[in-house]
Amino acid sequence: MHITINPTTADTWIVPLVQTDTLAAALEEIAAETGLSAERLQQDFKGDAKEALPLYMPDGQKTYLLGLGKSPETMDWLKTFREFFFRNKAKLPATISIDLTGFGSDVVEAVVLGVRAGGYDLRLYQTDKGDAPVFYSEAGTLGIRVDESAESTTKTAVDRAEAIAQTRHEMLDLMNAPANYKNPQTLADWALASGRKHGYAVTVFDKAAIEQHRMHALLSVNKGSDLPPAFIIMEYKPAGVDNARKVGLVGKGITFDTGGISIKPSASMHLMKSDMGGAAAVLGTVEAAAKLKLPVHLIGIIPTTENMVDGSAMKPGDVIGSYIGKTIEVIDTDAEGRLILADGIGYMVRNFQPDVLIDLATLTGSVIGTFGYHAAGMFTQNDALAAELAQAADRTGERVWRLPLWDVYKEDIKSDVADLRNYSGKPFAGAISAAKFLEVFTEGHTAWAHLDIAGTAFSDNEFGAQKNASGYGIRLLIDWLEGITG
């Protein structure tokens, strides 16, 4: 499918309608243009969110009225179009146009993201998928009608949405891939290919290099796995921008989490193929930032390994080292994310000294207990950073909500035998003690934020009967980066 702005012809139109005082008048106008009864239209279409009414014209033209409810936000536009296209994609014609006259470029971007998201196909490994929907094939065309004066801003919004959607889909595929289709090397290869394609530097430390760098926490988590770990470093520098802000992103890249010797119950263990949601957010954000040529110096780091069980696996009670030299008593081998992040964060801080440091991780079941699947837990001591991220979350609909980092929670990670331990042993405040653990490895960085995305990265939606990838984090971080670079 490709997109054209202000197409000259289309036989199928989508007219989005917001529930305002002018809805009745808008329906009257449509009635007059189409020769239908205004009264009937007003009776049959109320503009409720996601309400869709197809109208068939005698000349063969078809128009869908699509409701958006009252005062829709960006996410409502995105979701309405995502659902409409997902549900109808098999019967949509090759050429469809959407009438967005009178709406701004934020709406254009959300609509294009929604149309693209609706085309996502979860059936990655099904052998009989039938015919691909013609609208989403090479032959498909999406027309976007806007006011003539808005054509150039619309073009920018469309290009931006297309860039983000393309990257996001690749991340969805990676997230939804099972562990026999992806491993640490898969993430490394993706980063290397992306760096070559979009002109940014990627370095991958293999196991020997990880040993040389004394990343003992990452190596300890890797001990039970047949596959080597990897440590991915991506660096995008904007051309011709002096004094660009330096932003460090660290993402948890556990390609499968069995829990290790502290093994997980089997009922939901299959979902742990998604334990690289933080890595996906970082991979996607660095690629999207490079494509959009954002004026920011971005460093992405991904420590990646499986967390497996075998005779050489790390055991509960083991005391391990870490990149910055702190020793850790491993109470629970299932609290592995904070271990690999300890080395990722430690390496980032010591080698890159970023102005701002954000880590993202599918870190705790506790954050799901708190927010369900609707918001990420945000932890930071920096109020300005918290406010910026909260704003980006409001704009993108990728919610964050702040939780505390009070020092009273340090008790939870105190060890008698090592510098700290990885689990309190108590079933309370798990997301907070995990964040307090990570804080140690930031070595006092004053602009650090941790996002616990365990609930938001992989959740229920219209694409399938089971939980699947949301792509959470890419739009949030891109929006935030654009905000801080002005």
Binding segment for Mn ion among 287-295, 324-332, 333-341, 384-392 (CB under 5 A)? 333-341
Q: Coil, strand, or helix at residue 97?
A: strand
Task: Show the tokens assigned to 19.
Answer: 């529930």
Choices 213-221, 269-277, 392-400, 402-410 (CB under 5 A): range interacting with Zn ion: 269-277
Q: State which residue, 306 or 336, has the beta carbon closest to Mn ion.
A: 336
**Out of 99, 257, 329, 343, which residue is the one contacting Zn ion (CB under 5 A)?**
257
**Shortest Å, Cβ 338 to Zn ion:** 9
CA angle 299, 304, 308 (to 5 degrees): 165
- Given CA atoms 331, 335, 338, 341 in this order, what sign does their dihedral have? positive
The reply to whether 252 belongs to the active site is no
Residue 479 in the binding site for Mn ion (CB under 5 A): no
Whole-number CA gyration radius for the chain: 24
173, 334, 388, 398: which one contacts Mn ion (CB under 5 A)?
Answer: 334
**Cα–Cα dist 280/392, whole Å:** 19
Q: How far is the CB of 307 from ligand BES (least distance, A)?
A: 7
Q: Residues 338, 436, 467, 475: which is the catalytic one?
A: 338
Does 337 bind Zn ion (CB under 5 A)? Our answer is: yes
Which of residues 406 and 428 has its CB atom nearest to ligand BES in the complex?
428
Binding to ligand BES in span 22-51, by CB under 6 A:
none
Give the contacts of 350 (CB within 8 A, at least 6 positions apart): 323, 324, 443
* Orientation angle between helical segments 277-291 and 151-176, nearest 10 degrees: 150
Q: How many residues bind Mn ion (CB under 5 A)?
A: 3
Strands, E assignment, 166-285: 201-205, 230-236, 246-251, 253-257
CB of 459 to ligand BES, least distance (A): 10
Indicate whether 336 belongs to the interface with ligand BES (CB under 6 A).
Answer: yes
Crossing angle of the two packed helices 151-176 and 184-198, in degrees rounded to 10: 160
- Between CA 216 and CA 73 the distance in angstroms is 46
In degrees and rounded to multiples of 5, residue 379 shows phi and psi of -125, 125
Beta bridge partners of 53: 65
* C-alpha span between 114 and 112 (Å, rounded): 5
Report the C-alpha gap between 481 and 484 in whole angstroms. 5
Select 95 or 422, whichever has its Cβ closest to ligand BES: 422
Q: Which does 365 bind (CB under 5 to 8 A by kind): ligand BES, Zn ion, Mn ion, none?
A: ligand BES
CB of 327 to Mn ion, least distance (A): 20
Among candidates 418, 486, 484, 482, which has minimal Cα distance to 160? Answer: 482
Q: How far is the CB of 324 from Zn ion (least distance, A)?
A: 21
Give the bridge partners for 202, in sequence order: 234
Establish if 452 lies at the interface with Zn ion (CB under 5 A): no
Q: Which residue in 99, 109, 257, 329 binds Mn ion (CB under 5 A)?
A: 257
Closer to ligand BES by CB, 62 or 264: give it.
Answer: 264
**Total residues contacting ligand BES (rule CB under 6 A)?**
17
Binding-site string for Zn ion from residue 273 to residue 292, where x marks contact by CB under 5 A and - marks none? --x-----------------
Angle at 157 between CA 95 and CA 239, to 5 degrees: 130
- Tell me, what amino acid is at 114? G
CA atoms 282, 285, 291, 294: torsion sign: negative
194 binds ligand BES per the rule CB under 6 A: no
Handedness of CA 380, 297, 185, 206 (dihedral sign): negative
Looking at beta carbons only, is 146 or 413 nearer to ligand BES? 413
- 291 belongs to the catalytic site: no
Residue 388 structure tokens:
């910026």
Which residue is catalytic, options 264, 293, 402, 410? 264
Which span (194-202, 217-225, 230-238, 329-337) binds ligand BES, by CB under 6 A?
Answer: 329-337
- In terms of Cβ atoms closer than 10 Å to its own Cβ (0-12, 13-18, 19+), residue 152 is exposed
The stretch among 42-50, 98-106, 148-156, 251-259 that binds Zn ion (CB under 5 A) is: 251-259
Q: How far apart are CA 443 and CA 439, in angstroms?
A: 7
Give CA–CA dist 161/292, Å, rounded.
10
423 is in the binding site of which of Zn ion, ligand BES, Mn ion, none (Cβ under 5 to 8 A by kind)?
ligand BES
- What three-state secondary structure class fits 433? helix
Q: Tell me which of 76, 109, 275, 398 binds ligand BES, using CB under 6 A.
A: 275
- Pick out residues in 86-115 that bind ligand BES (CB under 6 A): none
Q: What residues are paired with 204 via a beta bridge?
A: 232
- The pattern of x and - marking residues 350 through 389 that bind ligand BES according to CB under 6 A reads ------------xxxxx-x---------------------
Q: Are 17 and 23 in contact (CB under 8 A)?
A: yes
Restricted to residues 188-217, the positions that interact with Mn ion (CB under 5 A) are: none
Q: How many residues bind Zn ion (CB under 5 A)?
A: 4
- The partner in contact with residue 388, picked from Zn ion, ligand BES, Mn ion, none with C-beta cut-offs of 5 to 8 angstroms by kind, is none
As a whole number of angstroms, the distance between CA 316 and CA 332 comes to 5
Using rule CB under 6 A, residue 454 touches ligand BES: yes
CB of 223 to Zn ion, least distance (A): 15
Catalytic residues: 264, 338
List residues binding Zn ion (CB under 5 A).
Answer: 254, 257, 275, 337
List residues binding ligand BES (CB under 6 A).
Answer: 257, 259, 275, 332, 334-337, 362-366, 368, 423, 430, 454
